[in-house]
Amino acid sequence: MGSLVAGIGYIGARLAERLLDAGEAVVGLDNLFSTDPEAIERLAQHPSFRFVEGNAADDDDVGRAFGLGIPIDTVYHLAGQSSARADAAPIRFTEEANLVAPRVMLDRACEAGAHTFLFGSSLQIYGRRVSGQVGETHPFGPLLDMNHLSKVYVEKLMEMYSHNRGIRCVAARIGLVYGLGPVMKTDPRFMTAPNKFCHQAARGETLRIDAGGFQPTSMIHVDDVSRALVALSHWPLPGFSAVNLIGETASPAQVAEVVRRVARARGLDVSLEATPPETPIADCTFLSTLSKCAFTPERSLERDLPEVLDYFMNREDITPRPPLRRGEGEKSIPLPVPGRGAGGLGPEASL
């Protein structure tokens, strides 16, 4: 049996690698909206990978992906307009990619007899400032952009399809993803705070933290996400389930400090600018039922951000920063209480 990965982007490309390494046949579907075609070409070198360039909202394109003669047992739906920023795409594009495509994919998955449909939902479904214990039963919070609003619709759609059509559906509510993967973005509209800060540090730019950038969120490495998605595909949960995919709790402000420290060790002096938080920093603990299947994240910001910074520093198309003048431009920012996960997505983080 094989898997269909819709959306061979930042997460999907790493997931496809992992599935291929495990000996699976993988069909990839992507319209090349926000990915790196070279990464797809590298995947296409693998004899068990087939790629369909097409729109996940187009019934014929999706039909082509299911019609390659590879029996599809699991569908990983990671295709979508993934940015929270209004300037990332016309609203109609976002609606088609994030609302129509999941329905088309579910229809085709049911027709093809797929057993499991996994979807890349978001931890931001709980709102941008959460407090207390945040497990999967936590209520949805205010949603301020079309990308995250669409996650609510798709989760309910999956619940409906699992009930009406019998397909097992899992919404993976993914935290903020960081780390080195086969697809590395450089467009800030499509980057999360950790990778974006590394990119900015490599270019000698100031790291800016907005008022929301002090609130806690959960950050998870792209490698841990792909491992968790595969674990979920094997976990025998019937019907519809939503599962938090969490790593460590941190704020963009804390991540910026890590990036500054890592950069300093490489001879780069990085400036930070922060707008003070307007609301008290929330005290929250993210929980995940995935811990019941003995899944624990293996990566960490401290351990894995250095390779992201090195990657951007070594990219030829990244403008080198001016020579180091130690101490220049440093600005202190009020850091959240240590030991209490502080973090959270300000507009700084796009996804």
Ligand X SMILES: NC(=O)c1ccc[n+]([C@@H]2O[C@H](COP(=O)([O-])OP(=O)(O)OC[C@H]3O[C@@H](n4cnc5c(N)ncnc54)[C@H](O)[C@@H]3O)[C@@H](O)[C@H]2O)c1
Q: Position of tokens 């300093």?
A: 264
Residue 350 found at the interface with ligand X (CB under 6 A): no
Tokens in use for 274?
Answer: 């922060």
Q: In the 8-state DSSP scheme, what is residue 32? A: S
Residue 306 found at the interface with ligand X (CB under 6 A): no
Q: Position of tokens 């933290």?
A: 209
Contacting range for ligand X; rule: CB under 6 A; set: 72-80, 279-287, 318-326, 329-337: 72-80
Rank residues 8 and 204 by Cβ distance to ligand X and give the closer one: 8
Residue 108 and residue 153: Cα distance in Å, rounded?
18
Q: Are 46 and 20 in contact (CB under 8 A)?
A: yes
Interface pick for ligand X out of 177, 242, 256, 258 (rule CB under 6 A): 177
Interface pick for ligand X out of 30, 210, 257, 348 (rule CB under 6 A): 30
Rank residues 34 and 233 by Cβ distance to ligand X and give the closer one: 34
Rank residues 80 and 297 by Cβ distance to ligand X and give the closer one: 80
Rank residues 171 and 270 by Cβ distance to ligand X and give the closer one: 171
As measured in angstroms, the least distance from the Cβ of 280 to ligand X is 25
Residue 122 found at the interface with ligand X (CB under 6 A): yes
Rank residues 151 and 204 by Cβ distance to ligand X and give the closer one: 151
Q: In the 8-state DSSP scheme, what is residue 181? A: -
Q: In the 8-state DSSP scheme, what is residue 183? A: S
Torsion over CA: 6, 8, 10, 16 (sign): positive
Residue 57 found at the interface with ligand X (CB under 6 A): yes
Size of residue set near ligand X by CB under 6 A: 33
The residue sitting closest to ligand X, measured at its beta carbon, is: 9
Rank residues 94 and 204 by Cβ distance to ligand X and give the closer one: 94
Tokens in use for 10?
Answer: 């930042």
Rank residues 151 and 208 by Cβ distance to ligand X and give the closer one: 151
Q: Which of residues 98-117 bind ligand X (CB under 6 A)?
A: 101
Contacting range for ligand X; rule: CB under 6 A; set: 17-25, 33-41, 159-167, 303-311: 33-41
DSSP-derived 3-state class of residue 27: strand
Q: Are 103 and 119 in contact (CB under 8 A)?
A: no
Residue 22 found at the interface with ligand X (CB under 6 A): no
Residue 250 found at the interface with ligand X (CB under 6 A): no
Residue 216 found at the interface with ligand X (CB under 6 A): no
Residue 61 and residue 54: Cα distance in Å, rounded?
5
Contacting range for ligand X; rule: CB under 6 A; set: 41-49, 51-59, 104-112, 336-344: 51-59
Residue 81 found at the interface with ligand X (CB under 6 A): yes
DSSP states of 259-291:
HHHHHHHTT----EEEPPPSSPPP-EEE--GGG
Q: What is the CB neighbour count within 10 angstroms for residue 142?
A: 10
Q: Which residue from 73, 76, 74, 51 is spatially nearest to 64, judged by alpha carbons?
A: 51
Dihedral angle computed from the Cα positions of residues 190, 195, 201 and 248, in that order, rounded to the nearest 10 degrees: 140
Contacting range for ligand X; rule: CB under 6 A; set: 41-49, 75-83, 210-218, 267-275: 75-83
Tokens in use for 46?
Answer: 């693998």
Interface pick for ligand X out of 74, 116, 192, 217 (rule CB under 6 A): 192
Residue 259 and residue 256: Cα distance in Å, rounded?
5
Rank residues 79 and 130 by Cβ distance to ligand X and give the closer one: 79
Q: Give the bridge partners for 218, in sequence order.
A: 249
Q: Which residue from 188, 193, 205 is spatially nearest to 320, judged by alpha carbons?
A: 205
Interface pick for ligand X out of 10, 49, 66, 295 (rule CB under 6 A): 10
Residue 94 found at the interface with ligand X (CB under 6 A): no
Residue 5 found at the interface with ligand X (CB under 6 A): no
Residues forming contacts to ligand X in the complex (CB under 6 A) are: 7-12, 29-35, 55-57, 78-82, 97, 101, 120, 122, 147, 174, 176-177, 183, 190, 192, 351
